[in-house]
Structure 1
Amino acid sequence: MAVLTEEQLKSNKTLLKKPELLAPAGNLEKLKVAVHYGADAVFLGGQEFGLRSNADNFTIEEIREGVEFANQYNAKIYVTTNIFAHNENFDGLDEYLLQLQNAGVTGIIVADPFIIEACKRVAPQLEIHLSTQQSLSNYKAVEYWKSEGLERVVLARETSAEEMQQIKDKVDIEIEAFIHGAMCIAYSGRCTLSNHMTARDSNRGGCCQSCRWDYDLLSIEDDDSLDFVYGEEATPFAMSPKDLKLIESIPKMMDIGIDSLKIEGRMKSIHYIATVVRVYRKVIDEYYNDPDNFKIDPEWLIELDKCANRDTAPAFFEGVPSVDEQMFGDGQKRKNSHDFCGLVIDYNEETEMATIQQRNHFKPGEVIEFFGPEIDNFAVTVEAIYDEEGESLDAARHPLQIVQIPMKQKVYPHNMMRKEL
């Protein structure tokens, strides 16, 4: 089945469904930021059975607190239990799943069939979502997992728009797809570079991202000697693809009927999460509210660039990507254009003073941009900085330091400040 024509898509506008915006959370602070900036749901990892061992990850008590916070915003919490398990990994699984259910978690994201069986048996109130680790990219495989009683499948990042539409048309199951974040050079769940190079199991939470290391590309000659491929020196080479960015394809994904649009990045900063969630929230809402007159605002693209530290591309969404979507040499060294400086704690309208938790160095005389879900972006020149005792400072230089700055524009808790690099 071909992708719908523009005329067919327009006729479907009245049936348009607003998809869930699903954001990552590597810790409790990131969870709260994601929800505050507009995420409908958050996915996170507990301290067992997940694939991000280097994230802070959540204790059961933190998961419970996260659920209570999310409930205030009618947001959902999904917990990753998506390792490919070995025999020793099953100890404590039943107890853990029951704890998640009792904590009020909406569902779990799973790759291993035994964990699916255990969840049905021990914690039947939890929704079961199949992880992208299973690399689903065809409707027959999706049909199989639906027959196993799953509520949702997370498609492989390699799935095209045409394939997404075929799956959605043929199988009555919720579909989740990635829209922004890192891409794996292999199919997710199929790479063992990390295992071989560092003895860290990428499919049990230990991926060291070997594909993103810098390599020298040389050729092996017939006599087993090494020779340069281009010119007179080794060619810098990395196996990593560019990061995924599908902001301009959100309307098409909504027309197809994708149920959940997923942002990758549990290891990312709160600045990254706030920026990306806020932009995609605007895209989804504006297209849903007025699809016929929708246009991509160039400011949205500028916003995403402020937190991007790698080049981006649409990856496989429109088909097999070109060689230009692969990162070579210094291409992966790009830095984001702005530096996250601080988080707003409070604003006193009477004294016109903002209380800030410092996150990176800033000083009087610098131009600082504020942004948040309640405000339009605006910039101010820092006139002065005071510590908690009211003493003047020449800079906010200490991590997490609480400072105050005078400013006439009102800001709100969880608004953020950044400066151009």
Structure 2
Amino acid sequence: MNKPELLIPAGSLENLYIAVAYGADAVYIGGEAFGLRAKAKNFDQQKMIQGITYAHGHGVKVYVTANIIAHNEDIDQARAYFKELLEIQPDGVIIADPGMLMVAKEVMPDMEFHLSTQANNTNYATMQFWHQQGVKRVVVARELSLEEITTAKQKVPDTLDFEAFVHGAMCISYSGRCLLSNYMSGRDANKGACTHPCRWTYHLVEETRPGEYMPVYENERGTYIYNSKDLCLISHIDQLVASGIDSFKIEGRMKTALYVATVTKTWREAIDDYFSDPDVYASKLAYYEAEVRKCTHRQFTTGFYFGKPDGDEQIYTSNTYTRSYTFVGKGIDYDPIKKLAHIQQRNKFVVGDTLEVLKTNGKNIEFIVDTMYNIEGEIVREAPHPKQDIWIEVDFEILPNEIIRRPADQDSA
């Protein structure tokens, strides 16, 4: 069995650095156009070059998304964009639209192409067709069961790789092909501008009684009728590997640095444990699940992998995330002589707080903030300013890009 690639979302250059630090095998990023996360920070040409150079220097691959469903006006711009990518040389380009693939192949004939889940890859014949068009990898549709994925993998050529989402937010629409956002707000989900109307609350209006809003209930639990739980398969790595999936894909180019660090570290550890000793992996399932809950998340589901979801896979009472930890800073460097860690603040923390360093290698370290200094070298009792430079006295090394978090129950302190 081949060890699957761990593929991590990077919606910003900072998140790319963090994904690399915590053990990603590959990251996927978006440019300023043609990807499906227009509200992510994304990468201009210079940042893309910087990110790819950094990742390649650490043995990590970079795939660029260009998976919009294109309209006429997009084609000439896409051709110009692909010429830029030809110079930048990522490891692969993710595409959904046949016309976009045709143009990309003309401009970048030697590029590796991955077929986005937006292309609705639900059967082996479709996958074989796309492979014949030059696609090296398909991202299987989220609505496939593990049995369907296994069967398809057995029927396609060995030269076609399978990538599958194993963690993160779920669309309620067919492999992301959703018209709700465009219809309700004029912002096209299939061109990267989704407003997430699946997370809104709804009422019913009868046309002869305008202005009379009747709540929509399902067993009186709530009104968020499209709001899916988040996918999490970290306890099923053995079955995922046995199915032949080549790349484990984490969703989340809109997510925080804490999410990227937490999920990358935990999935890296779980995959490595499984391939080192399956019994060790099996003994740590509760630990892995507890760890991935230490960043913002919804309740978890296994999606379609083990059967079609029912009403229990929706969250009817709220569209908010659960948050048990707050991202308070990241490591910049460490002075072993003075025992001072240089931290860039992200949320306020104060002397006396109990913080935890999410270590890139080894066990996380918890500590109490005792003494800290500002950029002028003055002793301070709090770090209240966004991205403030702070030095903390600690007797262990905090490495660059290591994330520092605080239990959310201390936030009001």
Aligning the two structures, in what range does the TM-score lie when normalised by the shorter sequence?
Answer: over 0.9
TM-score normalised by the chain length of structure 1 = 0.91
Match of 2:334 in 1: 347
Residue 184 of structure 1 aligns to a residue in which SS? coil
Choose which of 18, 23, 29 in structure 1 pairs with 2:3: 18
Superposed displacement of residue 319, structure 1: 1.1
**What's the Cα RMSD here?**
2.2
Q: 1:248, 1:296 within 8 Å by CA — same for their partners in 2?
A: no
Choose which of 268, 284, 297 in structure 1 pairs with 2:255: 268
| Cα distance in structure 2, aligned partners of 1:128 and 1:268 | 25
| Cα distance in structure 2, aligned partners of 1:229 and 1:274 | 38
Superposed displacement of residue 79, structure 1: 0.6
Q: Does 1:164 align with 2:152?
A: no
Q: Does 1:237 align with 2:224?
A: yes
Match of 1:148 in 2: 133
Matching of residues 16-415 of structure 1 within 5 Å = 16-172=1-157, 173-216=160-203, 218=204, 235-291=222-278, 293-297=280-284, 298-330=286-318, 332-415=319-402
| Cα distance in structure 1, aligned partners of 2:393 and 2:191 | 49
| Cα distance in structure 1, aligned partners of 2:362 and 2:187 | 44
| Cα distance in structure 1, aligned partners of 2:333 and 2:121 | 46
Q: 2:217, 2:223 within 8 Å by CA — same for their partners in 1?
A: no
| Cα distance in structure 1, aligned partners of 2:231 and 2:332 | 32
Q: 1:371, 1:378 within 8 Å by CA — same for their partners in 2?
A: yes
Q: 1:242, 1:311 within 8 Å by CA — same for their partners in 2?
A: yes
Q: Deviations over 1:49-107 (max 9, x none)?
A: 11111111111221111111111121111111111111111123223212212212111
TM-score normalised by the chain length of structure 2 = 0.93
127-136 vs 92-101, greater mean Cα deviation: 92-101
Superposed displacement of residue 220, structure 1: 5.4
Match of 1:416 in 2: 403
Consecutive unaligned residues of structure 2, counting only runs of 5 or more, are 409-413
Question: Which letter does structure 2 place at the counterpart of 1:149?
Answer: G
The 1:274–1:234 alpha-carbon spacing in structure 2 relative to 1, beyond 3 Å, is: closer
| Cα distance in structure 2, aligned partners of 1:361 and 1:227 | 42
The 1:42–1:299 alpha-carbon spacing in structure 2 relative to 1, beyond 3 Å, is: same
| Cα distance in structure 2, aligned partners of 1:189 and 1:227 | 29
The 1:237–1:168 alpha-carbon spacing in structure 2 relative to 1, beyond 3 Å, is: same
348-357 vs 291-300, greater mean Cα deviation: 291-300
Superposed displacement of residue 237, structure 1: 2.6
Question: Which letter does structure 1 place at the counterpart of 2:311?
Answer: V
Question: Which letter does structure 2 place at the counterpart of 1:59?
Answer: D
Q: 1:371, 1:416 within 8 Å by CA — same for their partners in 2?
A: yes
Q: Deviations over 1:134-175 (max 9, x none)?
A: 111211211111121210100111111001100111102100
Residue 341 of structure 2 aligns to a residue in which SS? strand
Match of 1:9 in 2: none
| Cα distance in structure 2, aligned partners of 1:113 and 1:411 | 47
Question: Which letter does structure 2 place at the counterpart of 1:108?
Answer: V
Question: Which letter does structure 2 place at the counterpart of 1:316?
Answer: F
Superposed displacement of residue 345, structure 1: 0.9
The 1:228–1:404 alpha-carbon spacing in structure 2 relative to 1, beyond 3 Å, is: closer
| Cα distance in structure 1, aligned partners of 2:4 and 2:73 | 38
The 1:407–1:73 alpha-carbon spacing in structure 2 relative to 1, beyond 3 Å, is: same
| Cα distance in structure 2, aligned partners of 1:159 and 1:420 | 37
Q: Deviations over 1:299-340 (max 9, x none)?
A: 22221111033111111110101211111023x334210001
Question: Which letter does structure 1 place at the counterpart of 2:17?
Answer: K
Q: Deviations over 1:106-132 (max 9, x none)?
A: 111101111111122110121111110
Superposed displacement of residue 228, structure 1: 5.7
| Cα distance in structure 1, aligned partners of 2:215 and 2:73 | 46
Consecutive unaligned residues of structure 1, counting only runs of 5 or more, are 1-15
Question: Which letter does structure 1 place at the counterpart of 2:237?
Answer: I
Q: 1:101, 1:125 within 8 Å by CA — same for their partners in 2?
A: no
| Cα distance in structure 1, aligned partners of 2:281 and 2:18 | 27
Q: 1:373, 1:415 within 8 Å by CA — same for their partners in 2?
A: yes
Superposed displacement of residue 371, structure 1: 1.1
| Cα distance in structure 2, aligned partners of 1:99 and 1:164 | 35
Count of residues paired in the alignment: 404
State, as a whole percentage, how many aligned pairs show the same letter. 42
| Cα distance in structure 2, aligned partners of 1:131 and 1:31 | 20
